[in-house]
Amino acid sequence: MNADQRRRQLGESNAPVEDEIAVSYDRIVAEGAGRLARSWTIILITGTFGGFEVATGVMAYLAVMHATQSHLLAGVAFGIGLVALLLAKSELFTEGFLVPITAFAAKQASFASLLKLWSGTLVMNLVGGWVFMWLVARAFPEFRPELETAAHHFVDAGFGWQSICLAILGGSTITLMTRMQHGTRSDMAKIVAAVAGGFLLAGLQMFHSILDSLIIFGAIHAGVAVTYGDWLGWFGYTVLFNILGGLLLVTALRLLRNKDLIVESRRGAPNDPDSPR
């Protein structure tokens, strides 16, 4: 039974919670299958745009930090980047956990297609963001002090329990934001979720492999004494614990809750997810 059939049968306005969850699950599987069916070209282009759009949020974050020196206010401003991602239908690497993995669990796509989506999106988010932050560093040289302070906050943190926990929370927060957006059909509610996610990520200075990489790239472009080696040392463990946070604290628990729906989906799926349907 697909999402439209569930809605006609139940009526979304008065459906009980479990039925709303089932309808939301159908939407997630359908979207995830579509994203995992994309060609390399579409994945790379969409990932590049995702890097551009997250970087607009970083630009807003820096502008508010420069004016107020308030991380919390700047975190609200960063939400602009996540709203842009939502409305422009771009792809952020850390948004690729819940939705694609649910489609994979439902046998609507292969593991190879999941790896293709992750790798292509991650690389092109970084490439697109690197280019955009070069423009930001040249356009707003007055942001250099904010870039320097923020970049050193990440690369000087060192590998320890605090850094691990900040990265786990960063991954779980962005994945929870994705789940919140898929739990509603209201565009305004989705925008609120994006702003809330941005506030938590940037306002609390959680470790996020894409967002904070762009800050570090901006600092390098601005001539701050930070190197790509410094970035890579921080990025290596941050991306790993972002993935673990998104998978273990959000995705795995929701897959467990939806295990009966997943079994139903797998029964109706083709043996080879890559075969023509």
pLDDT one-digit tens code per residue, 200-222: 999 999 999 999 999 999 999 99
* Of 224, 94, 52, 210, residue with least CA distance to 151: 224
Choice among 77-86, 99-108, 150-159 with the minimum mean pLDDT: 99-108
Indicate whether 224 pLDDT > 80. Answer: yes
Determine the pLDDT at residue 18: 63
Indicate whether 168 pLDDT > 50. Answer: yes
* Of 207, 227, 208, 211, residue with least CA distance to 219: 227
* Of 202, 214, 174, 196, residue with least CA distance to 71: 202
Determine the pLDDT at residue 10: 44
Scanning the structure block, which residue is given the tokens 């890097």? 51
H/E run at residue 244 = helix 228-246
Rounded to an integer, the average pLDDT of 181-198 is: 92
Indicate whether 275 pLDDT > 50. Answer: no
CATH of 4-8+15-267, one of 1.20.1080.10, 1.20.810.10, 1.10.10.60, 1.10.3720.10: 1.20.1080.10
**Rounded to 5°, angle at Cα 67 from 66 and 73:** 95
Determine the pLDDT at residue 40: 94
d(CA 209, CA 216): 11
Contact 203, 75 (CB under 8 A): yes
d(CA 88, CA 194): 13
Rounded to an integer, the average pLDDT of 92-107 is: 86
d(CA 75, CA 94): 18
Region label for 38, one of left (φ > 0), alpha (ψ between -120 and 50) or beta (otherwise): beta
Token pair for residue 28? 């997630």
Q: What is the pLDDT of residues 129-140, one digit of tens each?
A: 999 999 999 999
Determine the pLDDT at residue 277: 38
Note the Cα 17 to chain centre separation in Å: 26
